[in-house]
A and B are shown apart, each in its own frame.
Chain A
Amino acid sequence: MEGDTLSGASGRQALLPSVRPTSSLRGLSDPRRLLLAACLAPAAVVFAAFWLLPMAWLVMLPARKGWETYFAVLTSPRYLQSLTNTLLLSVSVTLATVVVGAAVGLFLARTPFRGRGLLLSLLTLPLSFPGVIVGFFVILLGGRQGLIPWIAEQLGGEGFAFAYGLLGLFLAYLYFSLPRSIATYTAAAGALDMQLEEAARSLGASRLRIALDVWVPALAPTTLACGAIVFATAMGAFGTAFTLASKFEVLPITIYGEFTNYANFALAASLSIALGLLTWLVLFLARRLTGGSDVAGAAGGGV
């Protein structure tokens, strides 16, 4: 796992074991309690000043324009369209990432060959790229002067610049999501029990049956945790969509536009709350379903 510690995402996996208090210090004496409070104080002050307080302010802001502002994302057709776009994109990227990531992870975990570690490092390298670079990559691939439209033209076809539409966004999101899932699935598939699979095979099960009856259930917890992280990251991704200046508008871009172009702070706040709640909810549910392993520290990243 060369490229592993390098990344935010696998960092998130490192967050999995949650901090458990030890029972030996149950009856804390008062000076001891004071000491722990003093240890916590600096972090608490900075967190309260630069996150809790501003966030509370943000949450209150739409109320000044009337309570209906909170529901703008549902009541205005434009914002609802933007939300639908974002959900559609995030769900399809998550599905594709999970399937493709699992395939690559299974292959890498059980096919020994020279340079496997190097290949894994290479495949997880994009974890340290800012989202804007990923957007630029897709412009190089499918923009007006991109590689693929150029190849299509050389072959006598029509150069089709796909970078600035839904396909471009999809490929870019896939690019920054895949490394996470590849790292996760390679680790999970490596720990997979081979006996069940051998048994199924000796009973004459086809490859498809083995995939459906052995791999899918065995990798289900990984899929749930990884899928939630990928989904949350895709929902909040801003840099990539910003670079592509896509015709397919996603919610982070809408929020940015409301804030910068129209100085409509209350609406920007309302849309941010909707996006934040939705993302948090998905992570929360995934954590519940996977039985308490921590996926809360999940979304965001450098994207």
Chain B
Amino acid sequence: MTIALTATAHRPSPILLAVTIAVTLFTIVPMVLSVTAGLINNYSVGIRSGFTTRWVVEVWSAYGDTVWRSLLLAACCVAGTLLLGVPAAYALARSRSRWLRLFEELLTLPVAVPGLATALALILVYGQLRGFRGSFAFILAGHLVFTLPFMVRTVGAAFARPELTALEEAARSLGANFRQRFLGILVPAVLPSIAAGSLMVFTLSVGEFNLTWMLHTPLTRTLPVGLADSYASMRLEVGSAYTLLFFAVVLPVLWFLQWIVQILERRHGT
């Protein structure tokens, strides 16, 4: 009796299995469709029309610049959140002032409030500064406030670990100055968290649309902005080829960064 019962315990429920299969199809079919549609001659004729790379070539010449711009923007955003966020995370982890707790709360608001609102606010205040409004820095400013809380929270949690506080106190009592403690002890100790935070910021920035669509100008189009533009105004094959380009360029970059994060985590044994 008991044996029979234990056996059923490990048999997966047929309903759960069916749902999982349905979800897997739902997730994969559109990806396959989009990749295929970007590589065939005529979407309405189907695979019979034969395969071609002409749509990919067309997209590359029309929108190739958006790929580099997005990768550069994401890299700048990571650099910015590192410079601003890592010291701020340290300050927040080492102080228990009520004002700093309030500041920490405020800092996460750009994530809770829809990006459209943040973008509107930026345009209302800085829209008249033509030079800034039309530049790459305008988009970067929006991305920075949106991604900063992710870096600060991730790294701050690592800085707050008790053994790190003890280590820092020990270094201080041995006469290490702040620069030595910060760059020599603290930053190396939280490196996996810094890497994880950077990956998060890069991923968010490279795919950001809500803010960017409002902040961009024809000269500062990013990849997601170009995608929306091609979906609205080009034939289905071109939109698909552009999506294929996103998969082919951005996903390998993200996987590479993820691989680095995993190596760092393994080395630190966390």
Contact = CB atoms under 8 A, between A and B. Distances in A.
A51 B91 contact: no
B243 A133 contact: yes
A129 B246 CA distance: 9
Interface string A253-270: 001100100000100110
| Interface size, A (range) | 35 or more
Given A128-B250, A280-B112, A238 B213 contact: yes
Contact of B108 (A57, A255, A272, A296): A296
Given A17-B157, A201-B8, A132 B95 contact: no
Interface string B204-217: 10011110011000
Nearest to B107: A47
Contacts of B121: 51, 54-55, 57-58
A90 to B, nearest CB: 12
A35 B95 contact: no
Interface in A196-211: 197-198, 201-202, 207
Contacts of A40: 87-88, 91-92, 100, 103
Contact of B207 (A123, A130, A147): A130
Contacts of B93: 19-22
A255 B116 contact: yes
A126 to B, nearest CB: 6
B148 A141 contact: no
A13 B245 CA distance: 29
A294 B224 CA distance: 29
B33 interface: yes
Contacts of A168: none
A135 interface: yes
B108 to A, nearest CB: 5
Nearest to A232: B112
Interface of B is mostly: helix
Nearest to B200: A11
A18 B15 CA distance: 37
Interface residues of B, number: 110
A91 B12 CA distance: 29
Interface stretch (A65-73, A76-84, A102-110): A102-110
B201 to A, nearest CB: 9
A197 B208 CA distance: 42
B83 interface: yes
B196 interface: yes
Contact of B153 (A42, A108, A294): A294
A58 B146 contact: no
Contacts of B125: 53-54, 57
B153 A19 contact: yes
B199 interface: yes
Interface of A: 5-8, 11-12, 14-15, 17-26, 28, 33, 35-40, 42-44, 46-47, 50-55, 57-58, 61, 100, 103-104, 106-108, 110-111, 119, 122-123, 125-126, 128-133, 135-141, 145, 147, 174-175, 178-179, 182, 197-198, 201-202, 207, 232, 235-239, 242-243, 245, 252, 255-256, 259, 265, 268-269, 272-273, 275-276, 279-280, 283, 294, 296-303
6 smallest CB-CB distances across A and B, nearest first, come from: A236-B114, A302-B207, A54-B121, A137-B30, A21-B96, A43-B88
26 contacts: A8-B203, A14-B200, A19-B92, A22-B94, A44-B103, A51-B121, A54-B122, A54-B126, A57-B125, A104-B16, A129-B207, A133-B246, A136-B239, A136-B240, A140-B37, A178-B26, A238-B115, A238-B210, A256-B116, A272-B114, A275-B114, A276-B113, A280-B113, A296-B108, A296-B112, A298-B111
